[in-house]
Structure 1
Amino acid sequence: MSPGGAPMGRPRSDQPGRRGGATAATVTLNRPPGGEERDDPRDAPAAPAARPGGPFGSGGGSLLSPRHWKVRTKLAAVLLVPAVAFLVLASINMAGQISSARDFGRGATIAEFGRQASTLVFELQAERDIASGFIASGREPSNQPQINKAVAETAAINEANAKLPAGQTPKEPPPIPAPNEGATLRSQQTNVDSALTAYRTAEDALGDVGPDAQARIDGAGGQLDDLTQLRAALAGKLLTQGAIIGKYSSMIDALLGINQEIGQGTGNTQLTTEVAGLTALSDLKETLSEERALLYGVASVKGGSRFQFSQQQEFSAVIAERGAALQRFRSDATPTQIAQYDTLVNGQAVLAVKRLEDSVVRQQSGDDLTLDAQQWYQAATTYLQAMRVVETGLLDQVVTKTRDLRSDAQRQAITTGVVIAAILVIAFLTSLLIARSMIGPLRRLQVEANDVANVRLPEAIARLQRPDATSAPPDIEPIGIDSRDEIGEVARTFDVLHKRAVELAGEQAGLRRNVNDMFVNLSRRSQGLVERQLKLIDELETGEQDPDQLANLFKLDHLATRMRRNSENLLVLAGEDAGRRWGRPIPLVDVLRAATSEVEQYHRIQLTGVPDVEVMGHAVNHLVHLVAELLENATVFSSPESKVLVHSQRLSDGGAMVEIEDRGIGMSAHEISDSNERLARPPEFDVSVSRMMGLYVVGRLATRHGITVRLRQAETGGVSAFVRIPVDVLASRFDKPRGQEDTAGGPPAQAERGAPDGWALDGRPADGRTLDGRTPDGRGQDVRVQDGRGQDPRSAGRTGPPALPTGPAALPT
């Protein structure tokens, strides 16, 4: 039953026929008879007299003379000369921009490669400094094997001690020796090898970096090729400490020189300044590393720490170099880079290095230095790590800057190219426009008018009719003919017509949204009142003992439930959800019982053959609402003494189907076809739809969950409604039992009761039952909501309507 008492899908005999939707006005622009306007021949000037000597006259001259060219050729020549000059100048400009983009691209490539180079430098600096202590301590071999042996023995002793019985004295494990300089050097060499592998991989994938940068990279690669021989000389005592440290420093200097090529040749001052600050910081870090190597070697000498030979002068020189490098960094770097350095490079590590340096300066003239090698190395390493963090941040900034500059240069080159192409196209179109005169605008008007009428205007109206559309109408793209002749006036008039049509569609869409909002507000208010009314009725039913009064309360209960469904209809019309959901699956039999309870003549409804399936919680309320609308329609249009049969079955694909059959007045073939079309494709809601609101609501609810609803003329003269519930809406799938294939055990279900024309079921019922619930052997399940007297068996001994569940609120929890 639809709101207002209108039937769901069968108009009465006194109702007017269904009218179509809103009509669309079509504007047709016709050309005047005879095609284009022609001037009166009488107004045409007299043709000039032919000159003697041929068409060019007696003084015609050469055919190559410009005065004999056609107008199109002359226009092309007039356009060609400035176009060529413009192209030459623009090409020069574009070549410079492309060159800048290439240089910035090379800088970005070098900067990205510089990350691997700076990592390798950091590890090489550590290997060099540890090697200095290794040489000074006598180059004793690594004691890592002894450490591993002691660790293994300790683990074995600890395991044996754990198994000793109580009271026995556990065995003491041997002491684990500390790693010597050889073990520390070998561990650092492993770190260098990993960094070198990453560097080689990045070098193999390196693109175009320019000849100068490639030469530096090749030079650094040549230096790194000697690393294996340098390590062999270090272990075999083939070179002095100064030679080995110098070779390491040469490799590091070659790698540091790569970053100096970033941004070379670009002419960008900001990038050059940032690169200068980066290289200055790298040099500052290298001077600190050299100082770490020098003092670590001095402190690692066995028998006492003291300067050897010229090491005192080297220490003074490296202190001066570090001060100069720091001054150069503060001079070359940007304020942002300096602020980053001051923020990160401070704290106890910096103070510890300063304190140890001052101690060495005070004791450098003495015979022995009270400098602990490990303490110095750890303090200097922490200092270097802080500088490494700053260096990494500056390098990331340089990489980002080069990428941005490259993108800007590429964008500028592309923009220039587009502008050049646009100018040429505009010039060509201008000459073409002049040549073609009225033909071009007229054809354009025809094409644009057809596009507006057939594409743009329908699309704009469709966008405005969507629920999520904005209230403001979209901007109208004009046809673009701005001439002052009649064609231009027609084009502007058509633009105004287009704009007015879109504005009218926007107003109608806004009005529809306002109506929907009104539906929602009214429905929400009515729902709240109905829910309170139902709760009060339930309380009265619970405490009522008088059968007559209880029967009246049951009637009120059903009327309130129907009112709630009418309110939910308004929500469906507005495109909203009813808001009531179930968090778990509900058996189909309870769903059908709940739908039955919402129908006034529920005692006429008979449920048979309900399969043991459950409906997903999110679809329960909508399915109850859908079936209730169909049951209401079946009871209204059938005799009060007749039964409305509800048959259910499972399908072989795992879904289920519910058939609602009445023995009423029926529908004509045209009405059934029209109703099925509305159920399959619910139309936009308007006044004509409101006359069959129940049919609209059923179609909308079915569309939300992929449910298919079809009507068919019943054999008994009434109407059968088939509701096919897909497997996605059910809580579990069904597997066909063995021996129940379609080729055995009787005809398929659609042959038993008949399915709607053009809509075949997916095979016979999965459990072999027919639509009336009987199995092929005659036995079946008959699920009824009342007995033969119209009473619910659960309410035996009471008078009045059966105690059925009232709507989804009465479903099992």
Structure 2
Amino acid sequence: MQTRPVTPRRESATGGTRSAGVDTAASERRRGRPQGPTPPAPNARDASPAQPGRFSLRSWRVRNRLFLLVCFPLIIAIGVAATRVNTLYQDRSHYQHARFQAGTASQVELLLLTIQQEREDAAICLANAKDNGACTGADDNSFYAQYEDAVNATSQAALALTPIAESVAQDTSYSEQLRTAAAEALGRAQDLASIRDVVTKDSAVFTVTFNAYTSVIDDVIAVISATSAGTSDQSITQDNQTLQALNSMIESESIAEVITDQVNYVQGALSPELVQSDQVSLLQDAQASYQSAYQNFQATATPSLVQSFNSTVSGPLVSGASAGVSAALNVVENSTSGTTGNNNQAWVNNTSNLSDTLINEDLPGTIGDLRSVQALAITQMMNDSQNLLNSADSDLYLNIGIIIAALLLSFLGTLLVARSLTRPLGLLRAAALEIAATRLPEMVRRLRDADAATADANSRVEPIPISSSDEIGEVARSFDEVHQQAVRLASEQAMLRANVNSMFVNLSRRSQSLVQRQLRLIDELENSEQDPDQLASLFKLDHLATRMRRNGENLLVLAGEEPGRKWSQAVRLLDVLRAGASEVEQYERVALHDLPDTNVVGRVVNDLVHLVAELLENATSFSAPETKVTVTANTLNTGGVMLEIEDSGIGMTPEELDDANERLANPPVIDVAISRRMGLYVVGRLATRHGIQVRLRRSAGGGITALVLVPSSLLAGVEGEQVPATELSATGVRNLGALPRRGVLPSESLPTYGDPLASSLGGARTLADAPPSGLGSAGPSEFDSEPSGSEPGRRALGQTGSIPSARAGDAPCERQLDVRQPLPPFAVPRPAP
């Protein structure tokens, strides 16, 4: 059962089950045999390639690589698309600001109108102040209330625009020019309070007051001019320029109105000495500014707006205003040049041309017409900015939609292409793994267990379900070809094994026939020999022949054949074990004890005897010759019987035990190694054939114990009774003594095959014929014949003689198994082939 360095090693005739579970080199080292040459170290080029790193592209799955491949152009496309969307969004923001500014332009124009009106009322109030005093109501100045109303209107308009101007000044999305203009306008609006204090509290000079108001008005006009800054659209720029031209014309007419009012009221209240020379330049600048603004308007305004201007700003009022302004300019120029000679009467005569119509109708009417055209220009500016904003929104949303659609199409296209690659690859991978792990091993197993005709019929393989004509399909077809070649090779091997098995069977049958004839010849010689020494030699020769016959039967097991004839009746377990012990060379070292009175069904008797003989052969061959091999049996609660064959060797390593038990549970395919370690394979095959479980374990005191579980289905009449004490030695152990002669088996316990078994053995002989070798009498033998038939079968269970009791002086069994060790779990064996 195991290797022992304390005794000379010998291979058993069957190769031994112990050696099959041990590494060959390790076993030969323990046996002291020379080992073969050490294989050379593998070449560096034969070594497996280094595994790629975790983050190496070679470690990535194909799906991830495809995703990475698409990411680069996709990121570039997203970047370009984001730039385009950002540009469109900036344009939309500019148009949105233009729409907002156009919407607030009317409020700014209202503020501009109120400031201009306040300036005019301040000039009139100052012109009617006594002694060049301030504009107050203390001196019954009737124009003070009118000035106060203008101040209140300006304050309300400025209050409405202040939050908007503050928001624009702080919002960085607006142009720098517009934010600066808004901030300056806010500051100048606060300066109005100081200007009003000068008008109402101090002695104000007309020119200073006029310039202060005009400076504020210019800052407000600058805000309107800056609304188009930062916008690249030509239509908004032209609309803004048109609005600026109209504002300039209105401001020019407003200045002319202030000058004429001043001259008119000075006529009745003041002396010509108070007329300042600055008024001449102011009025001249106003006329020049009007002409320049009119030309700009004609150049930038749309045809429809020009037509509206021509139809609106015309008629007697406009003509009268133009003539009146020229007359006022003449009066002022004469006053400042001294042509009147500082004569009040002459002043009055010169100013008589400035009629009330000019002051009260012509100039205000002209300014009103200009404001009407200005309202049309603001409306046009709002419509244009709104149309541009709508167009920008459409472009932005359209581009976003196109970009999203393009990205989705790219993603879906990439997904489809990736799936067309990864899905066949996944099918190929799954099919390859299934073939490698399930289908191919199952096919090989079926082919291994099939005959030649069945193996050839089962050599067709199912192709991998990939029908594409690309590289993946070609790999699938190539793998199908490899699969087919592997199955074909397995089929050829199965047919080869079938042929080899047939040769084994033929050779074994022939060898058994010759051995059977040899045994019969030895029987005849034994029957006629009277010399004890010669008879003992014949017994040894008989025993060797029996072992040769068992080797022949091993070939039948290797070939998967079963014995041609089987027992038809149950046989006692004791007789089966004795028959197995009688087939080993050192049978006298085998001790049987604690055996239940159990019968084994006839169909399994031959194989169980063979199995027990192989285990006993190993136990005696691989243990010290002075030790005993103990065989015990125990009845289990499940109805089966547990046999324990224990020796006293040094045992096996855990790895060797695991390998040996695996071979017992799952006998491998026949190869060259099986021929050298036949015993383990034969035991496993025989056990698998009948559902018997065999397992090796370490004994408590050293050595190996073979556990054989015979299921209840293979037993007949299990009574659970122990062998009577009268059949045991004084120590309670049944010892197998020296080489016995065959006795006679009672006829009622023999299997029947049509002929008396005794006659098939060629007679029987009694124990009296045995040589005087110190054997005790064990009574008549229970086996002495074998089944008859054309095909030689196993000799009768008692073919080498009955098992006598212990010889005088034999030592008792070294280890009684009165207390049983628990049985380790058995693996469920595979069905017999």
Shared fold by TM > 0.5? no
Q: Who wins on radius of gyration, i.e. which is larger?
A: 2
What is the TM-score normalised by the length of structure 1?
0.43
What is the TM-score normalised by the length of structure 2?
0.42
